[in-house]
Structure 1
Amino acid sequence: MEQGHARALKDAGMKATPKRLAILEALYAESGYASPEELWKRLRDRFDRLGLPTVYRNLEELAASGVITKVIHPNRQLYYFFCPNREHHHHFVCLSCRKVEDLPACGLSALEQEVSRNIGGKVLSHILQLNGLCGVCAAAAGGTP
């Protein structure tokens, strides 16, 4: 999969450094989102010099370029997720098992029109993240999925 990660970096105009590739590989192997500290602990033995600030910086650069996705947790901690879907979409985040699911429908075009009509503004981008429990975690918690 390293070729695919190198291609994603190249497409984003970023250099495919060994550390960036390792971070993408680690995120790709996750079943859900991961914190910078978790990634650093997983990768620090692979590199002679890999500090936590380097991991943070690379994650921010990767997120800013659209290669990975930031997950904003209610605990105010930032997490990151590798989403291969390059189409416009949003995410549902399970706060229990950390699973991240694509939501292909956007539904925000009416809100963008409201911004234009009511305040004369123009929406350039938006981010929508829904937090909750996935079907498996909701059922385990005694709720219905």
Structure 2
Amino acid sequence: MYDQHCQALKGLKLKATPKRLAILSLLAEESAYVSPEEIWRKLQGKFGRLGLPTVYRNLEELASGGVISKVIHPNRQLYYYFCPNRHHHHHFICIACRKVEDIDFCGMDEIAKNISGTVLSHIVQVNGLCHTCSNQQEGVAL
């Protein structure tokens, strides 16, 4: 995985610094999306001097290059997720357990037919409850 992370950084013309590699490794080990603050707390012990702004800056560089994905939570908090899937796709986000699933469908061609302008980019994120969390919610009295 280390070599893949180095190659990804090289492709973005970014140095493979220990902090960038640690951020990528941490995200790759997680099975859910993570906040910048959580990343910062988990890596503070590894690096004597790691500021939260450094974590934010590195996350933005990696997300801009498509190495990691941004997750925009309904609470407006920004999270990040390492997605090894490199082809064009979107994500289903469980807002309860933070699980992320790939959606291998994009309806952009159909949407573009109904737009009078030129689409330059798009972001599709589907928020909800995964099957497990949905079943747990059914047993809870609302």
Structure 2 equivalent of residue 135 of structure 1: 131
Residue matched to 2:83 = 83
Are the counterparts in 2 of residues 12 and 66 from structure 1 also a CA contact under 8 Å? no
Runs of 4+ in 1 over 3 A off after TM superposition: none
- Superposed CA RMSD in Å reads 1.1
Q: Tell me the residue number matched to 2:121.
A: 125
In 2, Cα distance between equivalents of 1:63 and 1:126 = 15
Amino acid at match of 1:42: K
The answer to whether the 8 Å contact 1:90/1:103 transfers is yes
Unmatched 5+ residue regions in structure 2? none
AA matched with 2:68: I
User: Equivalent residue for 1:43?
Assistant: 43
Matched, 1:72 2:72: yes
With normalisation by structure 1, the TM-score equals 0.92
Report how far residue 13 of structure 1 moved.
2.7
**What is the number of residues matched between the two proteins?**
139
Letter paired with 2:123: I
Tell me the CA shift for residue 141 of structure 1.
Answer: 1.1
Structure 1 SS opposite 2:70: strand
Q: Given the two structures, how large is their TM-score scaled by the length of structure 2?
A: 0.94
- Deviation of 1:12 after TM superposition, in Å, equals 2.7
Amino acid at match of 2:31: S
SS in 1 for 2:113: helix
Q: Summarize deviations over 1:41-94 as a string: whole Å, max 9, x none.
A: 000111121000100111011111111000000001000000011100000000
CA–CA distance in structure 1, aligned partners of residues 69 and 89 of structure 2: 11
- Counterpart for residue 20 of structure 1: 20
Unaligned runs of 5+ in 1: none
The one-letter code of the counterpart of 2:2 is E
What amino acid is aligned across from residue 83 of structure 1 in structure 2? C
SS of match in other structure, 1:24: helix
Q: What SS class does the counterpart of residue 141 from structure 1 fall into?
A: helix
